[in-house]
Amino acid sequence: MKLYEFQGKALFRRFGIATPDGVLRRKGDVLTGDKACVLKAQTLSGGRGKAGAVVLCKTEAERNASLEKILSMTLKGEPVNAALEEERVEIEKEFYISIAFDGEAGVPLIIASASGGMDIEEVADKHPEKILKLPFDSIVGPLDYHLSRVAKFLGTPRAKELASLLRKLCLAYSGVNATLLEINPLAQTPDGFVALDSKAELDDDAERLHTEFFDALRKEQGEITGSVASAQHDTITYVPLDGDIGLISDGAGTGMLALDMIRDRGGRAADFCEMGGLTNPEIMYSALERVSASEKPLRSLLVVLIGGFNRMDEMAEGIVKFVSERAFTKIPLVVRLCGTMEEEGKKIMRDAGLSVYDDLDDAVGAAVAGEGR
């Protein structure tokens, strides 16, 4: 599960990591008084600064105008329904810090860079030497020399303070079974280190260890998106890949087949997302939500459904609902459905102005070519 910035920051505070004071603002809120603050769109995707969705404001008029502007935005296909209003922090320097899981080596890593506040993927691409990646033992945690090495690499004299922050971040990481906790930027301020941003992803398979926490997060997210996010998310398997074709299938076998077919045609999938067999419109909706929130721009989104147990009318309902609610018009959508209630499903799609493919090969071809409805 991906968390919003305000949720990630609440998690940081629980583990003793400082963040700016902030209040969540919604549509219809009226802000009173002058105050130097920062208004930040709450979306699950990043790059908000570049998109003009992080705004410094001061006067009452500016605060209200910026809130209205931010709440009218759509970022990477995601409508902005809430903004975090934070105190403005005096930044001396910005660092990048994260704890991430290295799936290949099977160990967590501390990742650090003095090029904070920037797009870290770009730094990794152009200046890999500016990024430090330190694996550590997930049970023992990072050792003192790991932590002093990070401080040295970042060139900060505040090694003790940084070590304490990293220990807290590691405790948070293992405490909630996170797969990623990122602070970009971590600001060095006259009062110490402050997490100015948060990106957090939790391991869905660990939900049973933290049911109350997951329920509370889901409830908060549901209040923001207006949809009842549900535990049905659990049946969705989502594995990010490095291509640009979003892929959703109803079962793993169909998904694997589609992955191979995409590759055969010279395309690359952006993810492997399957809905775990028996599904309903809500799960279809959640899967679309998840794949379209991808950090990278998508060339197309391919939905491959083979109805055995699944009813195609229900799947079509989920797709149509998502498309109509999420202004999901920019990414070409390619849907192939067949099997149970196929005709009914196709009718629902056509009535909503969406086309469907009969042939899997044609659908994959269209997705690779970036052609969709």
Where on the chain is the footprint of Mg ion (CB under 5 A)?
Answer: 184, 197
Pairing of strands 245-249, 237-240: unpaired
Nearest to 96 by CA among 144, 54, 156, 148: 156
**Binding at 252: pick from Mg ion, ligand ADP, none (beta carbon under 5-8 Å per type):** none
- On whether the CB atoms of residues 237 and 203 are closer than 8 A, the answer is no
Query: For residue 129, what is the DSSP state?
Result: G
**At 102, is the secondary structure helix, strand, or coil?**
strand
Cα Rg, the chain, nearest whole Å:
22
Binding segment toward ligand ADP, per CB under 6 A, in 44-52, 164-172, 232-240, 255-263 = 44-52
- Backbone phi, psi, residue 94, to 5°: -120, 130
User: Of 94 and 250, which has the nearer Cβ to ligand ADP?
Assistant: 94
CB 245 within 8 A of CB 258: no
x/- letters, 125..164, toward ligand ADP (CB under 6 A): ----------------------------------------
Is residue 174 within 8 Å of residue 194, measured between CB atoms?
no
Query: What does 47 bind: ligand ADP, Mg ion, none (CB cut-off 5 to 8 Å by kind)?
Result: ligand ADP
Q: Which of Mg ion, ligand ADP, none has residue 221 at its interface (CB below 5 to 8 Å by kind)?
A: none
Which of the choices Mg ion, ligand ADP, none does residue 48 contact, using the CB cut-off of 5 to 8 A by kind?
ligand ADP
Which CB, 197 or 274, lies closer to Mg ion?
Answer: 197
> What DSSP string runs through 166-234?
HHHHHHHHHHTTEEEEEEEEEEEETTEEEE---EEEE-GGGGGGSHHHHHHHHHHHHHHHSS---GGGG
The CB-side HSE value for 332 (13 A sphere, CA atoms) comes to 17
Residue 246's binding partner among Mg ion, ligand ADP, none (Cβ under 5 to 8 angstroms by kind) is none
Binding range to ligand ADP, per CB under 6 A, among 88-96, 233-241, 313-321, 353-361: 88-96
Least distance (Å) from ligand ADP to the CB of residue 260?
A: 35
Nearer to Mg ion, 197 or 313 (CB): 197
- Taking the C-alpha atoms of residue 157 and residue 115, their distance in angstroms, rounded to an integer, is 16
Smallest gap from residue 173 Cβ to Mg ion (A): 18
CB nearer to ligand ADP: pick between 91 and 257: 91
Residue nearest to ligand ADP (CB): 49
49 in contact with ligand ADP (CB under 6 A): yes
Token digits for 366?
Answer: 């269209």
Site string for ligand ADP, 54-83 (x = CB under 6 A): x-----------------------------
Asked if residue 47 binds ligand ADP (CB under 6 A), the reply is yes
Q: Is 9 in the site for ligand ADP (CB under 6 A)?
A: no
Which helix (H) or strand (E) element contains residue 320? helix 312-325
Rounded to whole angstroms, the Cα distance separating 249 from 174 reads: 31
221 vs 310, beta carbon nearer ligand ADP: 221
CB of 330 to ligand ADP, least distance (A): 20
DSSP secondary-structure letter at 124?
H
List, in sequence order, every residue forming a beta bridge with 249; answer none if it has no partner: 274, 304
Q: Is 281 in the site for ligand ADP (CB under 6 A)?
A: no
Q: Could you say which residues in the range 183-242 bind ligand ADP, by CB under 6 A?
A: 184-185, 196-197
Q: Which residues bind ligand ADP (CB under 6 A)?
A: 20, 38, 40, 46-49, 54, 86, 88-89, 91, 94, 117, 184-185, 196-197
